[in-house]
Structure 1
Amino acid sequence: MDFNDIQNAWNNEETNNVILPDNLEKIQEANTPLDKIRKNLKKEFIYQVLSIIFIGFIPTFYDFPPKMTTLYYLLFSLFVAVCIYYLAKFYFFYKRLSSITLKTKDNLYETYFDIRLNMELYKTFGFALTPFLILYLIGFLYLKFSEAPGFLSNDFTNYQLGALFSIVVFTMLFMGISLEWWVHKFYGKFAKEIKKVIDELKEE
């Protein structure tokens, strides 16, 4: 291969990497939904932290008995540990979105799949918190009804077992439906807009 062949090959490679103005403009259309995702993610991060702080003060609001307060904060410490793990991941995800610049198709693909991955991670986060929600509901109901005559007995009554089963089933269904709706409303529909841009680029 002589010098001219090498130069031609180099020019061809450069041409393949050039982003046409129309494509660049189309790629940058994804910045609008991306900005909305960043905005929602930032707001939700703040709300999540404030919610954790609020939950930590619930025993003082309802004047829990000492033994129940100890049990509550034992569960709360596990709850906080789970929240920190997932919120840290969402924080780093937010930092990645804030620093990314959509100038190439590869950037767009990577960003889209990162968003999809973290949408699934968000659902996992919600389901990871579901057992705590169930235990909190059971504990709250126990606190409310423990003074009722005959509530505490050696054996669980059919009513108590039915109530316990209903709490578990209702909470699981509620969390599943709520998570799907929440993720779609605040993240999924914007991810679809980015996917639409990707599909349009494929057609060109």
Structure 2
Amino acid sequence: MELDHIKNLWEKENVSETPEISTEKQKEIHLPLEKIRKNMRMEFWSSVISILGILLYLVLYEPDFRLKIYGIILTGSAIIVTGFYFNKYFLLYKEIAEQKFSTREMLKDLKNQFELNKQYYVSYNIAFVPFLVAAYILIFDKQAGLQKYPEFVFVVALLLIVVAAITVLFFFGKWWFNEYYGKYIKQIENLAETLE
């Protein structure tokens, strides 16, 4: 008897099999999601090609042995940091592919995932600052030939280049995120607001 009562309660709870979000709205959501996934693939492969290009240059064309070793160590360290962050991005990439986003809760979870990955993206850019500084020091010291100038000139020139490079990295990273991810995230957020 109690089993029949539980079955009845179960059936009452599962009355609605239809999703909370209409199929048309789900299709609208998937369009920007696919663009985000496409941009994530492009960014991954462009990073792999860039890193391989740097390593090939260092191994095959850099004549200075010490600069070659420093560059390989620096690039190897950058690969570790990049690997950590791309692992986080890959989890989002899989999440986007596997979910149907048929309920508002799934959509809210997606918005939270985007916010979290936006923070990862910012921290990824910040994590690259030491690599950028070290690379500039190596390149600047080797190529600029400032050894003949007073130390003060060398330090000021190096600081100006590092500050300029960090500023460019910051604004370029911000532009890149908005161009390749932010505008699509905004579309999804706008769609989510219309559903609430």
TM-score range, shorter chain: 0.7 to 0.9
After superposition, give the CA deviation of every residue in 1:71-106 in whole Å (9 maximum; x if it has no partner): 222222211111111122222221221112121112
TM-score between both structures, scaled by the size of structure 2: 0.85
Q: Which residue number corresponds to residue 84 of structure 2?
A: 85
- 1:144 and 2:143 matched: yes
- Structure with the greater relative contact order (CA < 8 A, sep ≥ 6): 1 or 2? 1
The structure-2 alpha-carbon separation of the partners of 1:15 and 1:197, relative to structure 1 and needing over 3 Å to count, comes to farther
Q: Which residue number corresponds to residue 69 of structure 1?
A: 68
Q: Which residue number corresponds to residue 190 of structure 1?
A: 184
Percent identity among equivalent residues?
24
Q: Which residue number corresponds to residue 58 of structure 2?
A: 59
**What is the CA-CA distance between 1:9 and the residue it aligns to?**
9.5
The CA distance in 2 between the partners of 1:174 and 1:85, in whole Å, is 23
Q: Which residue number corresponds to residue 108 of structure 2?
A: 109
Equivalent residue letter for 1:200: T
Query: In structure 1, which of residues 161, 164, 169 is the aligned counterpart of residue 158 of structure 2?
Result: 164
The CA distance in 2 between the partners of 1:86 and 1:64, in whole Å, is 32
Structure 1 stretches of 4+ with a deviation exceeding 3 A read 6-11, 13-20
- 1:19 and 2:22 matched: no
**What is the CA-CA distance between 1:35 and the residue it aligns to?**
0.8
For 2:148, what is the secondary structure of its paired residue? coil
Gaps of 5+ in 2: none
Equivalent residue letter for 2:158: L
After superposition, give the CA deviation of every residue in 1:111-150 in whole Å (9 maximum; x if it has no partner): 222122212212211221122122212211211133x672
After superposition, give the CA deviation of every residue in 1:10-61 in whole Å (9 maximum; x if it has no partner): 64x44677535x7443243211111110111111111111111111123246
The structure-2 alpha-carbon separation of the partners of 1:176 and 1:51, relative to structure 1 and needing over 3 Å to count, comes to same
The CA distance in 1 between the partners of 2:88 and 2:147, in whole Å, is 48
TM-score between both structures, scaled by the size of structure 1: 0.82
Equivalent residue letter for 1:123: V
* Aligned partners of 1:75 and 1:132 also within 8 Å: yes
**What is the CA-CA distance between 1:174 and the residue it aligns to?**
1.0
Q: CA RMSD in A?
A: 2.6
